[in-house]
Structure 1
Amino acid sequence: MKLVKSLLIASVTMVLAINVQASVSNQDAARLGASLTLVGAEKAGNADGSIPAYSGGLTTAPASFKAGDSMRPDPYRGEKALFVINGKNVDQYKSMLTATTVALAKRFPSYRIDVYPTHRSAALPQAVLNNSVKNATSARSLQGGMTLDNVLPGVAFPIPQTGVEAMWNFLLRYQGVNINAKYDSWSVDSAGVPSLAVTGEAFVSFPIYEDLTKPINNADIYYQMKLSYTGPARRAGESIMLKDAANPLAQPGRAWQYLPAQRRVKQVSILAYDTPNPGTARALELYDWTLVGKQEMIVPYNTYKLTYVQDPKSLTTPNHLAPDFVRWEKHRVWVVEGNLKPGAKHIYQKRRFYLDEDSWAALASDQYDTSGQLFRGSFAFLSQSYDQRVPDATPFMTYDLARGTYNINGVVGPHGGIKYTEALSKAQWCPETMAGAGIR
């Protein structure tokens, strides 16, 4: 009997060892604040100086900024591009570009990548930075990385050991606490004709940041979004609600939709799992994640001109976004690849994310179909909300390379920019409230 008991204990211990990813050692954690920033980025610049050393990020607003305003002037407006990449010279730089970027440059002679001086502008509140340091030695991932233990709001794993830990850093990163913005979504068809997909109002909440002293519970909702469409006329009155919990195994991402014609709220799955947004990685549990490593990449960054554009239609040109509005810079990114688990179903067989080392935002992603072909590519447009210490990536876009179409979402400039607001009541986050708010 004692032998059986001993074997059972040994078996359980082995299972726990396999399924628990321990935090890093005190020696490794001591690099935070020394050679690494408090969120795990390399403090030093790169060898040729094209990426500068990190000096705290952008925390001072330009003189043209009006305190309390939600429209943020571009602090780098007067800078000129250092060089330009296009179809003629793209092979020279393809090791520093996403697969989607290379494909677009080779496919369209009008596609252009204007590369500007690099500014490591990302900055976070000190309390979030302090939590990130604590997480280095105390946070753990469980059940193959799908669940978390003893993680404080902040960067969960500032020195990631696995791909899934890097993805949790991305999902749980600080983006403010409560955000409100009116926005447009524009689609451009294969003939190059732009059309307004929706105009709406978004409320986005990150409840885990309401109390920075409270570890994240696996049942906690870390992200929720509520969208109400006001236009065009055929979409007015529709609404969507999304919620993601910290344990996708026990509580997968949920989505609800209200359609005025049906007069009812229904829970749906397609929105929860197939939305092609680089700012989300829904269905985390369906993939095996590999930490490919860190590399220098040319990516959209400090895109104030795009984020706060007044005429959204000027962004759209046939085949691709207007190059004049996209600022590209060289930054170090973590490359994380997800491959669909055997037996799992998703429209993407493989996904590759490019995570900014300073903010942990996904600056871009490549998506591959079931035949292994590049299917879609996405970009998020990061700009520092310097008055709030928030790296913001509200605008994002997706190219459908198979159909020759693209969409840009989160265009907030025509509607007053990005506002950081008070929390909505708990009642307003109940799906049942969508019906009342969605009546035309």
Structure 2
Amino acid sequence: MLKFQTKLTALALTGLFAVSAAQAAVSPQEAAKLGTSLTEFGAEKAGNAAGTIPAYTGGLTKAPAGYKAGQHLVDPFASEKPLFTITGANADKYKANLSPGQLEMLKKYPTFKMNVYPTHRSTAYPKKVLDAAKKNATNAKTDNNGNTVVNFEQAIPFPIPQNGVEVIWNHLTRYRGGAAKRDFVQVPVERDGTFIINRIEDTLVFPRNLPNFFKAGEDENINFYFYQILKSPVSVSGNVLLVHDTLDQVTEGRRAWQYNAGQRRVRRAPQVAYDSPGTAADGLRTTDNYDLYNGAPDRYEWKLKGKKEMYIPYNSYRLANNKLTYKEIHQPLHMNPEVLRYELHRVWEVEATLKSDARHIYAKRVFFVDEDNWQASVIDHYDGKGALWRVAEAHNIQYYNEMVPFYAAEALYDLQAGRYLTIGLTNEAAQPFVFDFTPDRANYTPAGLRRLGVQ
């Protein structure tokens, strides 16, 4: 495996722990917990005292009966029934294990409920990811008062995080298969349940998975390369967005270009960052809402609040079922709760507060990050007056066919407008995620945009 050094910048970060001028990686003694009391990727290996969260035993690594390669996933838990259901009427009984945003949804929307199922710790990684995480524990470190990270390899730089921003970087750099491609929909839903379907193709590739492997001088400061092609509606068909997602976005800003099919022109797109409006989202998300959260963390101060047990979307195979139509999934105010699955899992809680000299439409965000897959699974967003505004959920799923933890869909609910947005559903697509394709480096260049737009 090729080793390389990266440098991540996030200005003036604060956390539960003080950050010194040179924050060291954890000691070898602390790192020795990985693979013993902790999993190799940093989660608590043991279950909880109540027995409602099981011990980690290796995750879901084999496909269930009936699955065929190249087809949509088969639900390995299809026969399970909910243990109980949380509604607005009984939500206070469970509020210790809910985010404020989830609690508000239950109380605000009488038709919303959370069916809670048995917990399965299905996350599993390839050996190369586990090996890298263990090395990172004693090698990756922050410097300059937490503004940079050096000596980071592969994924999960901080399996034993010491402050809030380390948890966030675990989310930003988490393992997503090295390269991923999907044909999916992004659906803005109006208060009355009407919606428009935007069909999109996107790919994401980490530099070490490109042909010719890692290129010195080009890839050191790249987290991943990404492009997105709009397929429908006709008014936007053929438009393409290309992003070189830089790790240190303060020293070197995110590089982005857009190809407009109508004008047949490629232009730089410096606005594709922070709180600029998200593509084809009808004003329902910011650019950094994609993947629940992405981009530079420099506008916030980060505080690690600790760990808690929480009901989060998990093992969402029912939601990914290719027999479901998009019409069956999307209802007024929220997704159809009968196709959603929640489980009790341990999460890291991180509070992000906007700096006094920074600008963003979200004055505060509270992240709940799953301890197993490092995916931000719920994020509550607050406006400038301190009121709850939007609630984001990632419907976690393990792609057992490729040993990749990701999600079936993400949703962002606007509590003030009564509208919401879903991203990533592939139910009506010919095939779901593809992780084993060979990316073409030329497609991730400005020169390649025009060709992608007319395919």
Tell me, yes or no, whether TM beats 0.5.
Answer: yes
Q: Given the alignment, which residue of 307, 312, 326 partners 2:320? A: 307
Contact kept in structure 1, 2:319 and 2:408, CA below 8 Å = no
Q: After alignment, is 267-276 or 329-338 more displaced?
A: 267-276
Q: Which residue of 2 aligns with 1:152?
A: 153
1:357 to 371, 375, 378: 371
Matched residue, 1:435: 450
Change (3 A) 1:92 1:376: same
Preserved CA contact (<8 Å) 1:153 1:216: no
Q: Output one character per residue of 1:358-389: Cα deviation in whole Å (capped at 9) or x when no partner.
A: 11111111111111111111111111111211
Tell me the SS of whatever aligns to 2:318.
helix
Paired residues, number: 422
Moved more, 320-329 or 273-282: 273-282
Structure 2 counterpart of 1:171:
172
Q: What is the alpha-carbon distance in structure 2 between the residues aligned to residue 388 and residue 101 of structure 1? A: 31
Amino acid across the alignment from 2:94: Y
> Does the CA-based 8 Å contact 1:146-1:247 persist in structure 2?
no
1:249 CA displacement? 1.9
Q: Deviations over 1:301-321 (max 9, x none)?
A: 000111234412211011111
Cα distance between partner residues in 2 of 1:142 and 1:29: 19
Name the amino acid aligned to 1:413: N
- The answer for the alignment partner of 2:301 in structure 1 is 288
- Once the two structures are TM-superposed, the CA of residue 212 in structure 1 deviates from its matched residue by 10
Shift of 1:134: 1.1
Q: Please tell me the residue identity of whatever aligns with 1:424.
A: P
Residue 94 to residue 256, structure 1, CA distance change in 2 (3 Å): farther
1:229 aligns to what? 230
Alpha-carbon contact 2:292-2:379 (below 8 Å) kept: no
> CA offset at residue 209 of structure 1?
5.7
Higher relative contact order (CA 8 A, sep 6+): 2
Cα offsets for 1:232-276 (capped at 9, x unmatched): 112211111222122122123333222223322222344322322
The equivalent of 2:247 in structure 1 is 246
* Percent identity of paired positions between Structure 1 and Structure 2: 39
Offset of 1:225 from its aligned partner? 1.8
* Structure 2 CA distance for aligned equivalents of residues 41 and 26 of structure 1: 17
Shift of the alpha carbon at 1:221? 1.3
Letter in 1 for 2:207: P
- SS of match in other structure, 1:420: coil
8 Å CA contact retained: 1:151, 1:215: no
CA RMSD of aligned residues (A): 2.2
Q: How does 1:189-200 map to 2 (within 5 A)?
A: 189-196=190-197, 198-200=198-200
After superposition, the Cα gap between the structure-2 partners of 1:414 and 1:75, relative to the gap in structure 1 and judged at 3 Å, is same
What are the within-5 Å matches in structure 2 for residues 79-94 of structure 1?
79-94=80-95
Match of 1:24 in 2: 26
Cα pair 1:60 1:386 within 8 Å, conserved: yes
Q: Find the aligned partners of 1:93 and 1:209 in 2 and give their Cα distance.
A: 43
Which protein shows a greater Rg?
1
Give the Å deviation of 1:173: 0.9
1:130 lines up with 2:131 in the alignment: yes
Distance 2:20 2:48 in 1: 36
CA distance in 2, matches of 1:222, 1:331: 28
Q: TM-score, normalised by structure 1?
A: 0.91
Equivalent residues in 2 for 1:41-440, closer than 5 Å: 41-66=43-68, 68-196=69-197, 198-208=198-208, 219-274=220-275, 275=287, 276-310=289-323, 311-393=325-407, 395-415=409-429, 416-439=431-454
Equivalent position amino acid for 1:368 in 2 = Y
Aligned to 1:5: none
CA 262–144 in structure 1, closer or farther in 2 if over 3 Å, else same = farther
- Cα drift, residue 439 of structure 1: 4.1
CA distance in 2, matches of 1:161, 1:21: 9
Distance of aligned partners of 1:92 and 1:254 in 2 relative to their CA distance in 1, 3 Å threshold: farther
SS at match of 1:324: helix
Whether the 8 Å CA contact 1:277–1:397 is kept in 2: the answer is no
Equivalents in 1 of 2:259, 2:201: separation in Å?
Answer: 15
Q: Which one-letter code corresponds to 2:345 in the other structure? A: H
Deviation at 1:215, TM superposition (A): 12
- State the alpha-carbon separation in 2 of the partners of residues 220 and 18 from structure 1: 24
In 2, Cα distance between equivalents of 1:65 and 1:145? 45
Return the alpha-carbon distance in structure 1 between the equivalents of residues 436 and 420 of structure 2. Answer: 31
List alignment gaps of at least 5 residues for structure 1: 1-16
Distance 2:330 2:270 in 1: 30
How far 1:186 moved relative to its partner? 1.4
Which consecutive segments of 4 or more residues in structure 1 shift more than 4 A? 208-218
